[in-house]
Amino acid sequence: MTLSVTVEKFVQEKIDEDKNLVPNGTLKQNVTLKFKDTDIDNNSYIETVWLTIDSSKSDDDYVKEAYEAMKDNATAWSNEYKLVGKTFNTDTGKME
């Protein structure tokens, strides 16, 4: 399993407590990442987090924080698909 990560969205948005976009909500940094597993064809996992805006953080800091918050979900997604499309060899009792 090799995951590649691409930034899909990086924008400040006003959201409410249910993470709905609203005109009078709290301003947060939206970081949406797309995970692609090189072993899974035509499939990807996309997740969004809204982070507290901090003037001392760089763009890299926001993306790193988002990645840390999402990595367990992305790994779980990847593990769900690791056997899809593989063939079970009844003679050897192993996946091929």
Write out the two tokens for 34: 């797309």
Give the Å distances, CA to CA, from 8 to 15, 41, 49, 77, 91. Answer: 18, 19, 12, 18, 44
Whole-model pTM: value is 0.84
- For the chain, the residue count is 96
Q: pLDDT per residue over 49-81, tens digit each?
A: 999 999 999 999 999 999 999 999 999 998 888
Report which residue type is found at 94: K
Q: pLDDT per residue over 1-53, tens digit each?
A: 688 999 999 999 999 999 999 999 999 999 999 999 887 777 899 999 999 99
